[in-house]
Amino acid sequence: MLFHADKRNSTMSETAFDSDLLRLLSERGHLHQITDPGALDALASKQVITGYVGFDPTAPSLHIGNLASIMLLRRLQQAGHRPIVIMGGGTAKVGDPSGKDETRQMLTEERLASNIAGIKGSFERILNFDDSQSAALLINNDDWLSELGYIDMLRDVGPHFTINRMLSFDSVKLRLDREQPLSFLEFNYMIMQAYDFLVLARDYDCRVQLGGSDQWGNIVNGIELNRRIDAREVYGVTAPLITRADGAKMGKSVDGAIWLNEDALPAYDFWQYWRNTDDRDVGKFLKLFTDLPLGEIARLESLEGAEINDAKVVLANEVTALVRGPGAASAAEATARDTFAGGGAGDDLPTIAVGAQGMRVGAVLTQLGFTASNGEAKRKLAEGAVKLDGETITDPVQVVAADEGAALKLSLGKKKHAIITR
């Protein structure tokens, strides 16, 4: 039995669940599909269950597109259950074809280890790794995948997968429909992820896999593998694909990914992303990405006109405090207040030193990442979008220089600001 939240005419809050887990996920907009919701609801009502989400460490930081899946684990823990974070040190060597048009770049062991080290901090802030019954675990699937004898594994697991069925999954079918190559290595990904669920069910009594809606096929494979090999009933839950009101996929901005790690994206830029949320998305994002009570979210969501900006500041503060820490949120809000309200520079803005000789303003814009190239910088200057200490400048060869001990504020439009020093 499958439950498809997106096919209902009624809202998720109208769905009656007995367990704190599914009720919490439903109320806050995290539910898209569930396998056998009645059985999972009953199980979660009577005992502590263990659930997991997998994250392939393909970069040294996760981005906010991953945050929805992390929040699934947070909600699992808030409902009194045990979350497992699976670091895909093994599956990342293969690459998940889901939603990809190109073969993933092969990563070295050293790069994977470095990426995992960079990613761990995000989970340690958002989840509780103490010694309680619901304490989170962080496990690397390379621990068992690299130990497998490939032929032995294929003999045990391979007969439970048919090529016909594998070709029917969207992750494979879309790639083939677009006439993009799908390597045999990637084709193994769904078998490896299904095997993860088998191992976790055996070793940790893990009963549910959670993930984004693009992982539905992979999750179903793991459920069927558990049933066929061990006759064990396990379950799957997916969250809806998070899109913004303008239709764009959550996790990206015009300037690239919104990274969770400070060394990948300054706290001010992270905070500002949430502060610039579309009015129509404020309520949804407050439910998904904060722990504010639903009544307070309803109040903030109902604000109109200029007052909705107050709700956006709350959203930015709450998410930044969760992901980066309360100090980062406070500093970012203070910087925004100084920059926009007080006309000051702010302490948390990106800074660039141009030396005693100064630097051409076009090059400064590009080095800051405000523009992708000197050509784009030239166009922005010609449009009158660039200001230096409040004065519009249009000449791309103008040299920007700061006196010793002084600082200048460079702005591109209303949202990008930086400090220039010597």
Residues above pLDDT 70, as percent of the chain: 80
- CATH class of the region 266-341: mainly alpha
pLDDT in tens, 50-66: 999 999 898 999 999 99
Residue 262 has pLDDT above 70, yes or no: yes
Q: Are 4 and 37 in contact (CB under 8 A)?
A: no
* CA neighbor of 348 nearest in space, from 270, 402, 274: 270
- Say which residue, 398 or 249, is predicted with more confidence: 398
Q: Fold for domain 2-239? A: Rossmann fold (3.40.50)
- Say which residue, 372 or 323, is predicted with more confidence: 323
Residue 421 has pLDDT above 50, yes or no: yes
Q: Find the range with the poorest average confidence among 36-50, 220-234, 267-281.
A: 267-281
Q: Find the range with the poorest average confidence among 140-149, 235-244, 276-285.
A: 140-149
pLDDT of residue 185: 61
All CATH 3.10.290.10 domain ranges of the chain, comma separated, are 351-421
**DSSP 8-state assignment for residue 145:** H
Binning the chain into helix, strand and coil, the percentages to the nearest 5 are: 50, 15, 35
Q: Find the range with the poorest average confidence among 21-30, 227-236, 360-369, 388-397.
A: 388-397
pLDDT in tens, 365-419: 888 888 888 888 888 899 888 988 777 888 888 888 876 656 677 888 877 888 8
The stretch 193-197 carries a mean pLDDT of 92
Average pLDDT, the chain: 84
CA-CA-CA-CA torsion sign (307, 311, 314, 320): negative
- Say which residue, 421 or 61, is predicted with more confidence: 61
Residue 7: band (very low, low, confident or very high) from pLDDT cuts 50, 70, 90: very low
Q: Fold for domain 351-421? A: 3.10.290
Cα-atom radius of gyration of the chain, to the nearest Å? 24
Q: Find the range with the poorest average confidence among 165-179, 208-222, 279-293.
A: 165-179
Angstrom CA distances, 164 to 160, 161, 192, stand at: 12, 9, 18
pLDDT of residue 183: 61
All CATH 1.10.240.10 domain ranges of the chain, comma separated, are 266-341
User: Tokens 């439903």 belong to which residue?
Assistant: 26
Residue 346: band (very low, low, confident or very high) from pLDDT cuts 50, 70, 90: low
The stretch 247-260 carries a mean pLDDT of 74
pLDDT of residue 250: 78
Token output for 28: 């806050």
The stretch 335-361 carries a mean pLDDT of 72
Residue 272 has pLDDT above 90, yes or no: no
Residues above pLDDT 90, as percent of the chain: 48
The set of residues, in sequence order, having a beta carbon less than 8 Å from that of 313 and lying 6+ positions away, is 275, 333
pLDDT of residue 289: 98
Residue 29: band (very low, low, confident or very high) from pLDDT cuts 50, 70, 90: very high
The stretch 299-311 carries a mean pLDDT of 93
pLDDT of residue 101: 42
Residue 10 has pLDDT above 60, yes or no: no
Is residue 256 left, alpha or beta, with left meaning phi > 0 and alpha meaning psi from -120 to 50?
left
Residue 4 has pLDDT above 90, yes or no: no
The stretch 356-366 carries a mean pLDDT of 87
pLDDT of residue 146: 80
- Give Cα 210 distance to the centre of its chain: 14
User: Tokens 């010694």 belong to which residue?
Assistant: 131
How far, in Å, CA of 188 to CA of 172, rounded?
11
The stretch 215-235 carries a mean pLDDT of 94
- Say which residue, 287 or 164, is predicted with more confidence: 287
Residue 14: band (very low, low, confident or very high) from pLDDT cuts 50, 70, 90: very low
pLDDT of residue 354: 81
